[in-house]
Amino acid sequence: MQKLIIALGGNAFIQKGQAGTAEEQFANIRKPVASIAELSKRFSIVITHGNGPQSGALLLQQEACDEVPKMPLSIIGAQTQGQMGYMIESTLDEELMRLGISDDKLFLTVLTYTSVKKDDPAFENPTKPVGPAYPDPRPGFVNTSRGWRRVVPSPKPIKIYQWREIKHLMEEGFIIIACGGGGIPVYKKDERLHGVEAVIDKDLATAKLGEQIGADILLIATDVEKVAINFMQPDEKFVDSLTIPEATKFLDEGQFPKGSMGPKVQACVNFIEQGGAQAIITSIDHIQDALLGKTGTHFKK
């Protein structure tokens, strides 16, 4: 079976205007997870996901409480991997039962850590929005399309530590959930792993994992059906395909916002350049159609 790695965007869990209750998150992921359950008949699948709103919520909660010690961002990342892995697993379990294939399919969440360089320039220049958006400016926050959000450094993923486990389990037929929130950022020094205060972009981490496990297809599921050139301008154009030179040129021109479409396009470019066969960006609702070539933006050599 072809290996498919699917990155679920934040809107797979929390939609615009929602507060992000557990009930909302469970209800929202049913749709993409149902697609994935169906696709598991034809593909060997790894699911990855972001954790911006979930880690932001935990950050806000721990800042509001002085009774117990505050945890570093690396632990918060691990907490969201547990939370979201459980949400996806239990929903996947139900969807596989509904399809009558739950006895044939094993699945596992792999807690993931990702190595970064300690001297990555990102640590000097935080760019990754996490947590809820507010209408008013706050210290340490930046103005995003959704409002004012906290930003943290987003260093480049160098290696997903668990790639061997993930590759092995996929080849045994497991559906894998991994790289939650891009993986917990760590660097190794003196045979010790050190967690760092950062959030790795989940799309770049997904492309890296895809490369390491030899995935055939990378699919990034977000809130738009296709990538736009001149987004929100009079000559806006949604494109069916982009060659790597075209995508690279648009990235260089700043066509795609940082911390949003930019890393998604970059992830597709990286994946194809490292030998991946197909990379697709589409919406949560069009995962299956995009894999059939009916929609989405497809990246080509």
Which residues have a catalytic role annotated? 10-11, 128, 202, 264
Closer by beta carbon to its own copies, 105 or else 258: 105
- Binding of residue 83 to its own copies (CB under 8 A): yes
**Binding region for its own copies (CB under 8 A) out of 135-143, 149-157, 163-171, 291-299:** 163-171
Backbone phi, then psi, for 78, in 5-degree steps? -65, -40
- Binding of residue 277 to its own copies (CB under 8 A): no
Distance (Å, rounded) from C-alpha 242 to C-alpha 239? Answer: 7
Q: What is the dihedral of CA 225, 231, 234, 235, to 10 degrees?
A: -80
- Binding of residue 19 to its own copies (CB under 8 A): yes
**Binding region for its own copies (CB under 8 A) out of 64-72, 230-238, 253-261, 292-300:** 64-72
According to DSSP, residue 146 is labeled: T
Residue from 15, 27, 31, 79 touching its own copies (CB under 8 A): that is 79
Distance (Å, rounded) from C-alpha 185 to C-alpha 256? Answer: 25
Least separation in angstroms between residue 188's CB and its own copies is 9
Closest CA to 132 of 55, 73, 71, 29: 55
Q: Which long-range contacts (CB under 8 A, 24 or more apart) does 121-124 make?
A: 122/153, 122/154, 122/155, 122/156, 122/198, 123/153, 123/155, 123/196, 123/198, 124/153
Draw the binding track, 133-162, toward its own copies (x: CB under 8 A; -: no contact).
----------------------------xx
Least separation in angstroms between residue 156's CB and its own copies is 20
145-160: burial string, b at 16+ Cβ within 10 Å, e else: eeebbbbbbbbbbeeb
- Binding of residue 292 to its own copies (CB under 8 A): no
- Binding of residue 191 to its own copies (CB under 8 A): yes
Backbone phi, then psi, for 68, in 5-degree steps? -130, 155
What residues from 236 to 265 belong to the interface with its own copies (CB under 8 A)? none
The residue ranges that bind its own copies (CB under 8 A) are 19-22, 56-58, 60-65, 67-69, 71-72, 74-75, 78-83, 85-87, 89-90, 93-94, 97-98, 106, 108-111, 113, 132, 161-162, 164-165, 168, 174, 184, 186, 191-193, 195
